[in-house]
Structure 1
Amino acid sequence: MSEDTTEQGTTSEEATSAEVVTDAPESESTPAPAPAPRPGPRPGGPRPGAPRPGAPAARPATAAPTSDPSAFGRVDEDGGVWLRTTEGERQVGSWQAGEPAEGLAHFGRRFDDLATEVTILEKRLASGGGDARQTQESARTLLDGLPTAAVVGDVATLGTRLEAVLAATEVAAAAAKEQKEAARAEQAAHKEALAVEAEQLGTESTQWKAAGDRLREILEEWKTIRGIDRKTDDALWKRYSKAREAFNRRRGAHFADLDRERAVARTRKDELVAQAEALSTSTDFGATAGQFRDLMAEWKAAGRAPREADDALWAQFKDAQDRFFAARNAAAGERDAEFGANGEAKQALLAEAETIDPARGLDQAKAALRSVQERWDAVGKVPRELVQALEARMRTVEDTVRGADEARWTRTDPEAEARAAQFRERVRAFEEQAAKARAAGKEKRALEAEAQAAQWREWADAAEGAVGGA
């Protein structure tokens, strides 16, 4: 075989060494391209058998094409390979390596490889995988190369399929763009919401620890949000940063004020501790207890000093307070014992007083009561819970003696007897008036006089009963 024939032909080794374009990950290995053949004439297109970058690997020379190349082309007697198109025939290569049928089959397999690339693009587009723009660029490259492609097959149908792919990629690219913009808007809205929350915390919250923790959480969440254009992202970041700085300023000012207030509280509590120490030894228990209550109210109103100082000052204040009330309680215990003994003494005096009987002699009863009263007053105070009962029993005895004395005085009262006689005299006067009026035929006047006589009779009976009853 001549050197020219070898250059224009395509060996089976070259045909099997072409690269295959697939969706496999980049880490998967692909067959290396065969060494480039020597230069030769390329009538009507690329040299037959030369691999196209990104094209599927060519089938072995022994494999039959999946389509019938004889329906779309021919090999002339000089070895020229021709493709039939709607515009007429065009030469796509030459075959000098064997029988014409083998050459036609070779160019048919090349067409099948090209069709496989189109099928891959169609499937990728249908699955929604990959980048629509990249798919569009690949389809455009294939479509632009069809007029000069060194293949034999239904090129017209393949062109129609590629045009359909291009049209679909336009729709897919628009949808992808819309989806990307929607995702960008959603992410921007997410950061907008975080910025608004940060601004609210920065200007309003006084929950310093909780708000500070939340601002840090917002920052961590902020870092996970991506896909926003730089201008929008920078503007939202400035809002968050400004809100965080505002919060930090307010928090710093708050704690500075708090430190000043605590310093004032410490000074005031030092003064209250000194006053409590001065009162701790007082024996004026009633008044001093009231003063301690006032000091406690001032202590609460003073606010908190720094923690360590506040705890130490409170321990001093409470110690002084406890010492005073311990002394008061001890004194109260002694007083309660004394009051208990006084209660027993008054119980004994009451037992004696309740034996006094004015009926056996009013003067002796009055003398006995005075004796009991003098000793009663000398006894002193008794427990609070016994006061009312003891006083009530003593008043009963006193009322009995006083009643007997008043009754005796009433019986011997000359004025009472004179009043009773006067009332009887008025009764007789009204009875005489009634008799005279009736005799004169003045019945109404008689009835009025009789009514007055009856009234004065009741008063006379009462006066005489008081004198006689006593």
Structure 2
Amino acid sequence: MGFVDLFRPKHRHSNTATRIEAVRAMTRDDLTLLVQVARTDRDPTVRKVAIEKIDQAETLAELAVGERDEALRDLTSARAGELWLHRACGDDAEVAGAALTGLVRLGQERLIADVAVKAALPAVRRRAMAELHDPKALAELAKKAQNHQTRLEAVARIDDPAVLRALAVDTTNKELGLAAVDRLDDPELLELVATKGKNKAVRQRARKIVAEMQAAEQAARAAAAPAPAPGAPAPASDDDKRRRAEKSQLVRELDGLVESFDFERVGPLVRTAEASYAALSTVASPAKAEAKIDDKFRSLVRRFWKRAELHADGARKAASPAPAPVAEVAPAAPAEVVVAPVIDPEEERKRAARAEEAAARRAERDARKAEDDARRAAEDARREAKRKEQEAQAAELAASFPTVIAEMEAIAAGGDAKKIDRVLEHGRKVFEQVMKAPVPGRDELVARYDAARATLVIQRQGAREAEDWQRYANVPRAEALLKEAMALAESEEEIPDLGGKLKDLQARWKQVGPLPGKASKELWELFKETCDVVYDKVRGQRAVAEAGYAEIAAGKDKLIAEAEALAESTDWQATAERYKQLQAAWKESGRLPRKQDEELWTRFRAACDRFFARRQPLLDAQFAEQEANLAAKVRLCERAEATVAAAPGERGWGAAIGEIRALQDDWRGIGFVPRRDADAIYRRFRAACDGLFAKRDAARDGEADARRAEVDAVVAQLEAVMSASGDDAVGLALEARGALRELAAGDDGQRGPSIELAGLYERMVRHLAAQHADAVRGTAFDPAVIAREHDKLIARAQELVPASPATGPSAAQTAEEMAAALRAAMANNAFSGLRFSGRDPVEVVHELRHSWGQVGPDLGDDGAARRARFDQACRAALAAAGADDAPAPERPRSDTRSDERRQRRHDRKGEQAEATAASVTATAPAPVATAAPVTAAVPATAH
């Protein structure tokens, strides 16, 4: 490919194959380019492709004139002739006449003969016959023509003896063969016809003519021979035979001319024949056979001139209503040949009958001619009107040419491929009319038209190439569907719903889209054959299925019977459940043919609908009740949300929780709500309830965090004491002791220090006693002061134990005896002498134990003994008051998350207590090691 080819259109490419492909891609809209290629391309193959795509006969005829290649010239002429032949055989006289003119100009007499046979219009057939001059074409016309007169006239115009001989030998038509034989005058050709002719009458006529010619030849030889001697007998029969043979030849020639319509050409020939026949009629009384020849000759002459006279009359009538003599149209009949006739009455009667018959035929022919003339006149008027209409349309199209060009330019700019074909075709028609009519500014319009058309052609070519690519892209999809169909056809297992799968395959095949031509046919035929195989399997499955239809129908009838029996039931719930089971059973019962299945389903559905229609009022009432329940639960949700928002309020968390529990009880008392709202309303109420407990836990966690912060502050003070020295340590210890008491006071005195604080406080006291003994002397941390305080608490506890009125308490009394005495004293109002009179002993014991823990650990050697006496006195007082010194039972835990939180706190305190005990044991000095263990203070502080 050269560099210049990049800028050339493909039909002008240097490569022949590229030019051929470009020309093949052109359409009838590209006529101008096709004509250009057919005229100018240097390669005959390219020109041939272009010629084959041109479908205008006039253009092809012009190309044939200038074509250099003989084969292409013949091809072009043949294509033009075929197109003109089709038009010449049509019903439009103007188009047919123009097409016949083109055939005559083209010189294809074979096609002209076809027009003479096949043309729909008689005038076109007659004109085509008149244009024939080639003997072979005339012979073809004689063979193919349906009209007897047309065949005879065609034979009469053949002047080639070889063609006449071939026609006489090959034809099986008697009249046609006889006419051809009568035109032959060569004895050898006649003998050949007499030997090989297919028709018996033709062979006989040829033999007869040969015999007559031989007789005439013998007579001529006899006439040329020297005169016989006087007295010798003369051969009288030789002249007669020669004369009869020559007359017969003239009769045959005249018989071939008498039916012709070309009177101007045939008239002189008839006169010449009459003159020759008159020269031969020298015998006054001819023989009977010769008289018959004379009668036939005269009959043919009269018939011809009578036809000529009738033709002249018709021509005068068509031209003018005024009468005109026949002599003005045709020459007057010559004087009757002087022949000595032999009048035979029978022959005269036959001639008269034939004349009457001929006159009737002529009258009928004249009537038909008049009808043809009237029809031709009407056709001429119609053609003229049509011509004027076409001219008006052409002018209108020419006027619309600028609009058409503008539309083409708009579509070329927009790229709408769907409109390109339409606008190109319309533009081509308008362009043809514009080229025939004068239009102002035609050159400029034609230039715009060519530019717009070139752009549209390129766009259309691109669209077609895209369509071609899409066709090839559809091939894999079609092949995939074919594979699926083959898999279904080749599968030996029974495939469920095979018919449905086959329908799906066929539906998807329709959606594949167009395929390339050859592949489309091959794939479709293979797919169709495969689907036919699959359909045979489907029919087999259906046959098997039909065998089980009776059982399926019986099962469905049972379901219908049960459904109809339950239709009037009032056991709504159970019956509804049973109907659901019946419907499920119906789905599993199998399929029947569509019509039967629909009938059974209609009955079953009617029974179900009847029951559910009866149940509908009940469902409506239930729905109304459920709506009321929903409204009640909504109100409960609103109350619960309001309670959560107001909690804890003045009454505290307990009251709020009580309200929530009351709302929960009310919730349980309300019935069902609509199913669509059940989950949502329950989640709303549950969220409100959980919100209260979450709010309480959050509040408690805040209090616990604050309490922990206070405890951490006290712990920091206690640890600071142990790291201080001298008087500072004692001062810090007093501050820590005050902070610890304030922390305990925050609990309303209900609880003592925690195990952690108690252990840490005891450790601090031991640390002060061991490390700062002089500094703590006389302070609250002095072991002697602590011992005196403990003695006071023991004395106060012992005062709670009632003494016997007679003897007082004995030191030897046991705790049980003291408890019994206390109970007796209480029964006798023995508390009147105590300073704790009026207070609950249990409360007093609790206060004493709390005070014991606040005093601090007893670090003396007798600290354990003091603790034992204090505990014994407390237990005795509690026993006398009828109270149990056992730990209080655990309260029921209602909230799981609160239990978990308490458990975590308990575990944390246990770990801290163990750590404190370990640290105390590790840091306590040796002299203090004999003091009471840390746990001695626990009972009093861990209440």
* Larger of the two Rg values belongs to structure: 2
TM-score of the superposition, structure 1-length normalised? 0.31
TM-score, scaled relative to structure 2? 0.18
Q: Which has the higher helix share?
A: 2
